[in-house]
Chain A
């Protein structure tokens, strides 16, 4: 009890009631009795405010029941009324001592760390504070004392020293400075550590060949500094590179990329700056997560679900912010604000951190303290994967405060609390937070896709020091796939969501609007109150649909079952069923229920192929060969298979371990995505999700492989039923769309283009856009009957915030706004692209003012809008749109209107595809049998043009799937915008031949011989793409201050290295392995009298030719010339030119053969056998000519290298980031 008036605050000398919290000011608030005897609370100008019932107050009369909050303290108080208790004097009004929540272990660690760092005056035991998280509380020092000026001076010279390859000489000449405590005080240690680490790595990795040892001028002080920091082996740490390697341009400005520079840049190129500083900003963006994790744990201890929800939301929002705003600043788009060229990255930054000494820790991503803190908070227990082990290993090198914090964060289980309370809001928020961390579109998911893109590009251009990852292996080893598989495994080591990762919504009665053509649209609201759904305008919601009774009945009949049979579930199916409202973890389901949840229409390609393997029905094989399976539904196919003699009952009779068990053949229905057409108030949970669902009804095609029948879309009809019934409980998943966001600046204008149900996200946009920015909406729609009044649009138009232009494509009508609502009147039929052209000036004005443009509709609609925009903007239209995209001002939300393959367009040959790999010919690629022209798309690809160009001219299906693009409907649909046709399937009948292989005589289908040719072409094309990217490096700015056109010695050494790799890794593999197989097989089919060994003999003879020996043995001589300062630029340019040319020649030679297959198909051997064999010979001849040309140029440069031997390939050094090659001496 205390007596009024009373002061509350942090300082025990100034306040009567002490609140121990850094968020509380020293004198924070005062409590006193007011004029009328009531209790008055006054804020004393505190920094973080005083709150009554969650509203910030300056002066407030408080009444019984009011909640008072200061900092993290919720104050409980009792007011003893003096009028009723005469025994207590008026001035003895009392209140109870405020009760703060219990301080959890993690808070005690942070407070102790803050106090310790303050006391000792440095942060060597680890940066740790609530305010700055894992970053230093004091900004990194900018200079050494005069005694160590030599180091500071060296910093500015690094780029030039790199460029000229003179860096080692400069460091060899640098004085050896004293780094012992008497010469270098503690406060300079971190700067010394960063700088010496960067220097040492620069010395190590400047040239392609590592030095024998570090010079004394680096090794001695670096070792001393490392020991003083408690590191046994000198190594560059995460702190060195990212947490203590930045400075603010404007010290009072934001801690963001735009306001930061590197403290110790190495090359000082764009890749280095962006990659390092974004990582730094990322850590800065995560700072609030530390406090929020601690508050969440304290909320658990205090049993306060509301406080827990708030803290979890802070974590969720920050994770979303860093992954969707900070991380994408690493932008491979060359037109982006901070472009980062992946090849430049790979050749410089990508390997710079690989440890120099054996057993030293690396500054890899697994050394991020935030990851370890979050993993501890989320109770990750498994670290068995390779990345997991590396992670544990690296955490062992953490400074003391970090180690203590990570351990302390494991002491309170937020997860258990969320599980126990069974509170749907908490569960929703917890799972959303977890998804923002490890989900496909969360931090770890995004990282995996981005890393895949970077690593693929990096390995294809031969990461230099790579510690291996089998860069010495052949081109086709696909190391990046192995690294990617690791990243996938490690995500699974983190703990799964609490309960099923879904939220439940209840359908309200909706409205179905039918147009005159019979097409319909359903407007449906889902009630998600209390589910903790936090989403932004533009996000999508995934819906788990159910099949209708009619389809289920039909399928049960086709399965010759009665529907009550119990069918066992696979783990995949069990997880899917657990996501359904009302179903827990079940092992079996009645067949009828299973069919309601199964993806049984249309038949997907994987299922179609599985059915081929299980049955011998030729009819079905022919359907699948023609890629017409999507014209069929499961019951259809079952009837077809039964007619072909297959026992269809096996599907439900088979045991789970058998390959024909239902759950092994048929997948569960996936989440179907719809744009959310509503917007919750900012920062609040949504109570309603509105959907606009376009009905899908179509007739399958009449073709030799399918028959006409009315078909329905599963999801749209399911939602229609739900809207008619109301009250149905739906399983939902919120899917965020970081690339479809409103501008951060509410004053920017936005222009929206929608067709049909594509209006959905824009209803949410308009509702959320209450700021000063203009909103323009162009809506394409067929007839006036389909035009629907939207309250949001009417309200926005009435307030002058929105202008709507509607284009009716099948009626002479138009829409005007009468001051209250939009009304349909007379007009002329037109399409949205007509309107765009008509209002070109208006649109250009909006674009000039920085408008963001959004397109939502079918692929065809998106193409028409983009084409129209391209034609009206000033200057180079495509270039304008590329820039718009790079600036994040053009966003597309494209959906496929299902048409099936019956409408497929032109057919293309593999030989045509393979030729489209240059700017002149255009760039094509094949995915899933379809052909795409990606010439323009490469400039728009979020992952940058390198990844696209890596896959042009070949079948990119595997790469496309690897990054889950096919599983993300929004990405997959966008692809349709660039489709130009399909690859033609050749018909070889059942032709076969005999071939002699190392395994003996074999019978081989002719089709397999063709595939061997195609695989070879794709391999050569892949190499051509990779090599073009590799040599493209010669025109980038690799060090600051250089002319990108100059082939500097630094760049030239990479050309020599790439050339050596071309000879060893590409060419030897191609000739010794792939072309040889092609030859062996082709000879078997085409010429029984040809000696199989003649190929090997030709190859061996070629290797002995003097020009070949000269070319291969002279590479090290060229490297030596380069290192000693001689000019070998011309020869390097010759290498680059002729290497690429050889691949093109090889491709052209082999394509002659492929074309023979395309022309003659089944008769190719009889009619064009000689052409095939000649094609292989021509390929070998091309290689011979290549060696002759290069030898001539080499001799012309005066290099003979008669006695030189070919340089041996260094041994494989394992996965990157796992320790380097040098043993530490002494």
Chain B
């Protein structure tokens, strides 16, 4: 079975230069934890994980001590940082050297790289163009549920 047989077409994506607020919106609407990122020419450049969005909001030790020093301050800073981050662009948070698969790849090939590297959703890229994504759920559905 090939990747193209089970992948999700029309993946949730976002372009470089978009704001973090926009990314958060796409994440919440699409209910996908990992957004595909395209450049201004529409070519695939990398991925943006919701995990990295959240991590960017966590205050550092220095942030907390500068902002009061208590754990309560840390929790408040988390929220404030979220607000501050909203208007910034996503570009620094994009992971660019991400593993991809081709539509014509065998499914097992994709499964191996996902398990070994802890990837939840793989971009399916054909000659630089994003054609879909392959998630662990896609694999389970195709290989186990529909077998």
Residues of A within 8 A of B (CB): 994, 996-1001, 1083-1084, 1087-1094
Partner of B65, one of A999, A1084, A1089, A1093: A1093
User: B127-142 interface mask toward A, CB cutoff 8 Å, 1 = contact, 0 = none?
Assistant: 0000000000000000
**Complex alpha-carbon distance, A54 and B60, angstroms:** 86
List, in ascending order, chain B residues with CB within 8 A of A1000's CB. 58-61
Distance between B110 CB and nearest chain A CB, rounded to angstroms: 22
On whether A1088 and B58 interact (CB within 8 A), knowing A996-B64, A1093-B65, the answer reads no
Cβ-defined contact, B58 with A1090, below 8 A: no
- 11 cross-chain CB contacts under 8 A: A994-B71, A996-B61, A998-B61, A1000-B60, A1000-B61, A1001-B58, A1088-B70, A1088-B71, A1090-B70, A1091-B69, A1092-B65
Cβ-defined contact, B69 with A1001, below 8 A: no
**Complex alpha-carbon distance, A1094 and B58, angstroms:** 22
**Complex alpha-carbon distance, A346 and B98, angstroms:** 60
Partner of A1088, one of B59, B60, B65, B72: B72
List, in ascending order, chain A residues with CB within 8 A of B69's CB. 1091-1094
**Complex alpha-carbon distance, A1000 and B68, angstroms:** 15
Distance between A658 CB and nearest chain B CB, rounded to angstroms: 13
Q: B72 — nearest CB in chain A belongs to which residue? A: A1088
With A1090-B70, A1092-B65 already in contact, 19 other A-B pairs whose C-beta atoms are closer than 8 Å? A994-B71, A996-B64, A996-B71, A997-B61, A999-B61, A1000-B59, A1001-B58, A1083-B71, A1088-B70, A1088-B75, A1089-B70, A1089-B72, A1090-B71, A1091-B68, A1091-B69, A1092-B64, A1092-B69, A1092-B70, A1093-B65
Q: A1085 — nearest CB in chain B belongs to which residue? A: B71
Q: B71 — nearest CB in chain A belongs to which residue? A: A1088
Distance between A1000 CB and nearest chain B CB, rounded to angstroms: 5
List, in ascending order, chain A residues with CB within 8 A of B60's CB. 1000
Tell me, yes or no, whether B20 is within 8 Å of chain A by CB: no
List, in ascending order, chain A residues with CB within 8 A of B74's CB. 996, 1001
Top 9 closest pairs, chain A to chain B, by CB: A1091-B69, A1088-B71, A1088-B72, A1093-B69, A1092-B69, A998-B61, A1089-B70, A1089-B72, A1091-B70
List, in ascending order, chain A residues with CB within 8 A of B68's CB. 1091
Distance between B143 CB and nearest chain A CB, rounded to angstroms: 18
List, in ascending order, chain B residues with CB within 8 A of A999's CB. 61
**Complex alpha-carbon distance, A1001 and B71, angstroms:** 9
List, in ascending order, chain A residues with CB within 8 A of B58's CB. 1000-1001
User: B10-51 interface mask toward A, CB cutoff 8 Å, 1 = contact, 0 = none?
Assistant: 000000000000000000000000000000000000000000
**Complex alpha-carbon distance, A1087 and B69, angstroms:** 12
**Complex alpha-carbon distance, A1000 and B58, angstroms:** 8
**Complex alpha-carbon distance, A1092 and B60, angstroms:** 13
**Complex alpha-carbon distance, A113 and B115, angstroms:** 73
**Complex alpha-carbon distance, A996 and B67, angstroms:** 13
List, in ascending order, chain A residues with CB within 8 A of B59's CB. 1000-1001
List, in ascending order, chain B residues with CB within 8 A of A1089's CB. 70-72
Distance between A867 CB and nearest chain B CB, rounded to angstroms: 56
List, in ascending order, chain B residues with CB within 8 A of A1001's CB. 58-59, 64, 74
- Most chain A CB within a 10 A radius of its CB, from B58, B61, B68, B75: B61
List, in ascending order, chain B residues with CB within 8 A of A998's CB. 61
Distance between B8 CB and nearest chain A CB, rounded to angstroms: 29
**Complex alpha-carbon distance, A1087 and B72, angstroms:** 9
List, in ascending order, chain A residues with CB within 8 A of B61's CB. 996-1000
**Complex alpha-carbon distance, A1000 and B61, angstroms:** 5
Q: A1090 — nearest CB in chain B belongs to which residue? A: B70
Distance between B53 CB and nearest chain A CB, rounded to angstroms: 16
Q: A997 — nearest CB in chain B belongs to which residue? A: B61
**Complex alpha-carbon distance, A994 and B70, angstroms:** 12
Q: B61 — nearest CB in chain A belongs to which residue? A: A998
Among B64-87, those with CB < 8 Å from A are 64-65, 68-72, 74-75
- Most chain A CB within a 10 A radius of its CB, from B65, B68, B70, B71: B71
List, in ascending order, chain B residues with CB within 8 A of A1088's CB. 70-72, 75
Distance between B62 CB and nearest chain A CB, rounded to angstroms: 9
Q: A995 — nearest CB in chain B belongs to which residue? A: B71
- Most chain A CB within a 10 A radius of its CB, from B60, B68, B70: B70
Distance between B63 CB and nearest chain A CB, rounded to angstroms: 9
**Complex alpha-carbon distance, A999 and B69, angstroms:** 14
List, in ascending order, chain B residues with CB within 8 A of A996's CB. 61, 64, 71, 74
**Complex alpha-carbon distance, A1090 and B74, angstroms:** 11
List, in ascending order, chain B residues with CB within 8 A of A1087's CB. 70-71
List, in ascending order, chain B residues with CB within 8 A of A1084's CB. 71
Q: A1000 — nearest CB in chain B belongs to which residue? A: B60
Distance between B11 CB and nearest chain A CB, rounded to angstroms: 31
**Complex alpha-carbon distance, A997 and B61, angstroms:** 6
Q: B60 — nearest CB in chain A belongs to which residue? A: A1000
List, in ascending order, chain A residues with CB within 8 A of B70's CB. 1087-1092
**Complex alpha-carbon distance, A125 and B74, angstroms:** 76
List, in ascending order, chain B residues with CB within 8 A of A1093's CB. 65, 69
List, in ascending order, chain A residues with CB within 8 A of B72's CB. 1088-1089
**Complex alpha-carbon distance, A62 and B59, angstroms:** 101
- Most chain B CB within a 10 A radius of its CB, from A994, A1001, A1084, A1089: A1001
Q: B69 — nearest CB in chain A belongs to which residue? A: A1091
**Complex alpha-carbon distance, A998 and B75, angstroms:** 16
List, in ascending order, chain B residues with CB within 8 A of A1094's CB. 69
List, in ascending order, chain A residues with CB within 8 A of B64's CB. 996, 1001, 1092
Q: A1094 — nearest CB in chain B belongs to which residue? A: B69
Distance between B79 CB and nearest chain A CB, rounded to angstroms: 14
Q: B59 — nearest CB in chain A belongs to which residue? A: A1001
Distance between A73 CB and nearest chain B CB, rounded to angstroms: 74
**Complex alpha-carbon distance, A48 and B58, angstroms:** 89
Distance between A623 CB and nearest chain B CB, rounded to angstroms: 29
Q: A1093 — nearest CB in chain B belongs to which residue? A: B69
**Complex alpha-carbon distance, A22 and B60, angstroms:** 82
List, in ascending order, chain A residues with CB within 8 A of B75's CB. 1088
Q: B75 — nearest CB in chain A belongs to which residue? A: A1088
Distance between A634 CB and nearest chain B CB, rounded to angstroms: 28
**Complex alpha-carbon distance, A1090 and B61, angstroms:** 15
Distance between A756 CB and nearest chain B CB, rounded to angstroms: 56
Distance between B131 CB and nearest chain A CB, rounded to angstroms: 35
Q: A999 — nearest CB in chain B belongs to which residue? A: B61
**Complex alpha-carbon distance, A877 and B60, angstroms:** 64
Distance between B54 CB and nearest chain A CB, rounded to angstroms: 12
Distance between B31 CB and nearest chain A CB, rounded to angstroms: 25
Distance between A840 CB and nearest chain B CB, rounded to angstroms: 69
Distance between B104 CB and nearest chain A CB, rounded to angstroms: 31
- Most chain B CB within a 10 A radius of its CB, from A996, A1084, A1093: A996
Q: A1092 — nearest CB in chain B belongs to which residue? A: B69
**Complex alpha-carbon distance, A1088 and B68, angstroms:** 11
**Complex alpha-carbon distance, A1092 and B70, angstroms:** 6
Distance between A1216 CB and nearest chain B CB, rounded to angstroms: 39
**Complex alpha-carbon distance, A1091 and B61, angstroms:** 12
Q: A994 — nearest CB in chain B belongs to which residue? A: B71
Distance between A204 CB and nearest chain B CB, rounded to angstroms: 47
- Most chain B CB within a 10 A radius of its CB, from A994, A1091, A1094: A1091
Distance between A1085 CB and nearest chain B CB, rounded to angstroms: 9
**Complex alpha-carbon distance, A999 and B71, angstroms:** 14
**Complex alpha-carbon distance, A411 and B18, angstroms:** 80
List, in ascending order, chain B residues with CB within 8 A of A1083's CB. 71
List, in ascending order, chain B residues with CB within 8 A of A997's CB. 61
**Complex alpha-carbon distance, A999 and B63, angstroms:** 12
**Complex alpha-carbon distance, A1092 and B63, angstroms:** 12
Q: B55 — nearest CB in chain A belongs to which residue? A: A1000
**Complex alpha-carbon distance, A1091 and B68, angstroms:** 7
List, in ascending order, chain B residues with CB within 8 A of A994's CB. 71
**Complex alpha-carbon distance, A999 and B58, angstroms:** 11
List, in ascending order, chain B residues with CB within 8 A of A1091's CB. 68-70
**Complex alpha-carbon distance, A1093 and B75, angstroms:** 17
Distance between A654 CB and nearest chain B CB, rounded to angstroms: 16
Q: B65 — nearest CB in chain A belongs to which residue? A: A1093
**Complex alpha-carbon distance, A1087 and B74, angstroms:** 13
- Most chain B CB within a 10 A radius of its CB, from A994, A1084, A1088, A1094: A1088
